[in-house]
Amino acid sequence: MRLPHHLVRHPSGIFHYRQKIPLELQAVTGRKVIKKSLRTRCPKTAQAWAYVLAARYDAVFHAVRSGEMTKPTVADLLAHVDPADTRPYELALPNGVSIKATDAADHARAMEALKLLVAQPPLDVAPATPQPSKTPPGMKLAAAHRAWVQFIAPSTIRKTLSIKSSAVSLFVEHAGRAQPINGITRTDVAGWVQALRNAGLSTPTIVNKLSYLKGFFEWAKGAGHYISSDNPSTGQLTYSHREKRLRRKLGFKALTMEQVRALYEPKAFIGLSDAARWGALLGLYTGARVAEIGQLTLADFLTIDGVFCVRFTDDGEGQSLKNKASERTVPLHPDLIELGVMARVGELRERGETRFFPGVKVDGVNGMGNWLSKAFTRHLAACKVQPESGVGKVGFHSLRKTVIQAMQTANVSSEHRAQFVGHELDDEHHTVYSRQYTAAELLAVVGPALRWSLDLAAVRATLFELPAGRKPARKNAQSATQTRSTSKSP
> Higher confidence at residue 405 or residue 323?
405
pLDDT over 60 at 238, yes or no: yes
Between 32-46, 153-167, 265-279, the lowest mean confidence (pLDDT) is in 32-46
Q: What residues contact 303, with CB distance under 8 A and at least 6 apart?
A: 309, 485, 486, 488, 489
Residue 312 within a domain: yes
181 and 42, same structural domain?
A: no
Q: What percent of the chain has pLDDT over 90?
A: 49
Average confidence (pLDDT) over 93-105: 59
Q: Which domain holds residue 439?
A: 257-485
Confidence band for 100, pLDDT divided at 50, 70 and 90: low
Q: From 241, 265, 297, give the residue that closes a domain.
A: 241
Report the relative pairing of strands 98-101 and 301-304 from DSSP bridges: unpaired
Instruction: Tell me the pLDDT tens digit for each residue of 307-359.
Output: 999 999 988 888 888 888 899 999 999 999 999 999 999 999 999 999 999 98
Residue 157 within a domain: yes
pTM (whole model) above 0.85:
no
One-letter amino acid for residue 66 of the chain? S
Q: What percent of the chain has pLDDT over 70?
A: 77
Q: From 194, 217, 241, give the residue that closes a domain.
A: 241
Residue 301 within a domain: yes
pLDDT confidence of residue 132: 52
208 and 175, same structural domain?
A: yes
pLDDT confidence of residue 98: 60
Residue 426 within a domain: yes
Residue 268 within a domain: yes
Total domains in the chain come to 3
Residue 126 within a domain: no
154 and 92, same structural domain?
A: no
Q: From 87, 119, 151, give the residue that closes a domain.
A: 119
111 and 184, same structural domain?
A: no
pLDDT confidence of residue 467: 41
Q: What is the CATH number for 164?
A: 1.10.150.130
> Higher confidence at residue 389 or residue 135?
389
Q: What DSSP letter does each residue of 324-355 carry, written as one string?
A: GGG-EEEEPPHHHHHHTHHHHHHHHHHTT--B
365 and 407, same structural domain?
A: yes
* 4 three-class SS: coil
Q: What residues contact 311, with CB distance under 8 A and at least 6 apart?
A: 300, 302, 328, 329, 330, 490
> Higher confidence at residue 264 or residue 113?
264
Contact 141, 188 (CB under 8 A): no
Residue 490 within a domain: no
Residue 134 within a domain: no
Instruction: Tell me the pLDDT tens digit for each residue of 272-304.
Output: 999 999 999 999 999 999 999 999 999 999 999
314 and 166, same structural domain?
A: no
d(Cα 329, Cα 419) in Å, to the nearest integer? 9
pLDDT confidence of residue 310: 97
pLDDT confidence of residue 77: 56
Instruction: Tell me the pLDDT tens digit for each residue of 415-460.
Output: 999 999 999 887 778 778 889 999 999 999 999 999 999 999 999 9
Rounded to a whole number of angstroms, the CA Rg of the chain reads 36
47 and 17, same structural domain?
A: yes
265 and 208, same structural domain?
A: no
467 and 332, same structural domain?
A: yes
